[in-house]
Structure 1
Amino acid sequence: MTRVVLVHGIAQETKGEESLLGAWYPALCDGLARAGAAPLDRADVSMAFWGHVFRPAGHRALGPPPLDAFDVEPGLEEELLLGWWEAAAAIERRVPGPEEPARLRTPRVVQRALNALSHSAFFAGVSESLMVHSARQVRRYFTEPDVRAAVQAEFAGRVTDRTELVVAHSLGSVVAYEALCAHPGWRDLTLITLGSPLGVRRLVFDRLLPTPHSDSARWPVPVKAWTNITDAGDAVALVKELAPAFGRRITDVSVHNGAQAHDVRPYLTARETGVAVAHALDRSRTSP
């Protein structure tokens, strides 16, 4: 029963609650320190871990084969990769854009996207297989009801009548938003979203439950305050301001995360995040 519930994003299935919390908790305290606030007790923070929902069962021999461009399913998986490519190319000079001719003749546009994304800050050092796997995980969340329900159940199981703050990163912000909408009877709490793709039309926004109406999304009843924090170079959080679609009560804040624009740790260590966390927990020692 903790005051702060953290919610991770995609591609964390081989980790767990404690290993993720071991990385997130010090960064969260660093952000509070930058804001001039006291650190949180570790016992007051918990991780809503849902990565295991996507962890496949063990296999004999060498296990499942790696994924490549030919394994990308048409529809959402393909659209996600192309969307990330376009966004990365618009932000980073070293990433060739879709309009530029490919240096190598590749059999599919998807392969060009994977080749280009390998040069991006977000996917630097990430294998082609893991890029495809990341897109697949998002697709499965939105298209497989049992997966969606299992993921949200892990989050809901962490929220209690003592929870005051939810801090959610990347796809975790989608999980938190949908679950908060589905539980209007929960106590009032504050939501902080980091690198959120919630506002991305067609790929995410239009797939949310409850379904947005007339370009406006429903406000999650338990949320008394919502701060959305993004880096201008974050290719996942393509829409930087959520207030126009989710409600003017949202405070949209910009931060600078350096080369790792989507990584959760620089988001957490940012002074702006620390201020939002301190304010949510009614801490009064924030610096002016």
Structure 2
Amino acid sequence: MFQGVGVVARVVLVHGIAQQFEGPETLGLKLGAALRDGVQLGANLTLEPADVACAFYGNAFIEEGTRPADLPPWDEKYVEDGLEAELLDAWFQRAAELEPSIPPLDEEGTRSLKAAATSRALQVKWVRARLNGLVKADFFQGLGKRFLVSELKQVRRYLDDPPTWQAARASVAEQVGEDTRVIVAHSLGSVVAYEALCENPDWPVTDLVTVGSPLGLPLIFRRLSPLPTNGIGAWPAKVLRWTNVADPGDIVALINTLGPLFASGPNGPVQDRTITNGVKMHDFGRYLTAPTTGAAIAAGLRQASA
């Protein structure tokens, strides 16, 4: 049911993982400014701060009433079999393709996940080899194992834990109002936004812009709600236009062409666009300031005003 009547934001931002130490106002100020810059650079359209709202769900990943000073001491022993291990392997394989500096796996590291899972000791070695490689990747910019394991767990929690995905989707619903026309979603937030749009066909949103999206990654695609039918994902409700923007060096956006994977909408299939974000391939701010992203956002706003 549409709950957001009266909210003035014309554009709603949906962030990705690793934002549990942020807040809706601080994150909204930073990302809102980047979006307004992108729209101005890409389409010569000026937006006011009140035109943009940020759906915040970072607090869904910490215990209620607490704010930990640091991440838990996670390492290879804490990566769970199944989704977490599959995602780790997908990231590692893509990073190894893009960055020759990542050392090759040894014989034990090249085992299949299924083979490694037959022994706890083998699985820990299998995970350690991939984490050791990823922490050397330029993409992750020296982030430690604890941070990488935290990211794996946040993705798994959203996909498998009902209270987490309910809180994330509710954060989007709180910001969508009668004036909202465009949703711009980054990383895991693109999954949140897509699923929220599919389950709320009464929303007035006409344009979805996804950036750095993992929606095409098979281990995520096959878990989407609603489930894909015959290998094709559902079109998100009443959205008229869907633009997907990806940097080819963005490891999270492993499958950066979404058009063939989803049904077409009223104005055609997903429009896939490629940009370069420099050394910060996955950064939400850089995606937002890109003229390509700004032009897609502006197109939706101008259509709404026509």
Query: Under a length normalisation based on structure 2, what TM-score does the superposition of the two structures give?
Result: 0.86
When residues 71 and 33 of structure 1 are mapped into structure 2, their CA distance, relative to the original with a 3 A threshold, is: same
1:12 to 2, 16, 19: 19
Code of the aligned partner of 1:191: L
Deviation of 1:145 after TM superposition, in Å, equals 1.4
Give the superposed CA RMSD: 2.3
When residues 57 and 159 of structure 1 are mapped into structure 2, their CA distance, relative to the original with a 3 A threshold, is: closer
Code of the aligned partner of 1:258: G
When residues 64 and 163 of structure 1 are mapped into structure 2, their CA distance, relative to the original with a 3 A threshold, is: closer
Code of the aligned partner of 2:172: F
Equivalent residues of 2:77, 2:124 under 8 A apart: no
Equivalent residues in 2 for 1:19-98, closer than 5 Å: 19-57=26-64, 65-98=72-105
Q: Aligned partners of 1:233, 1:98: CA distance in 2, in Å?
A: 21
* SS of equivalent residue, structure 1 residue 207: coil
**Residue matched to 1:222:** 238
Equivalent residues in 2 for 1:1-288, closer than 5 Å: 1-57=8-64, 65-98=72-105, 108-201=125-218, 203-248=219-264, 249-282=269-302
* SS of equivalent residue, structure 1 residue 78: helix
The size of the alignment, in residue pairs, is 280
Equivalent residues of 2:71, 2:146 under 8 A apart: no
CA offset digits 1:77-136 (Å, max 9, x no partner): 11111111111111122223447887xxx9511111111111223311312111101000
Q: Aligned partners of 1:254, 1:60: CA distance in 2, in Å?
A: 37
User: Which ranges in structure 2 are unaligned for 5 or more consecutive residues?
Assistant: 1-7, 110-122
Equivalent residues of 1:86, 1:97 under 8 A apart: no
User: Which ranges in structure 1 are unaligned for 5 or more consecutive residues?
Assistant: 284-288
Of Structure 1 and Structure 2, the greater helix share is in 2
Equivalent residues of 2:108, 2:126 under 8 A apart: no
Equivalent residues of 1:121, 1:261 under 8 A apart: no
Deviation of 1:58 after TM superposition, in Å, equals 6.3
Percent identity between the aligned chains? 44
When residues 32 and 187 of structure 1 are mapped into structure 2, their CA distance, relative to the original with a 3 A threshold, is: closer
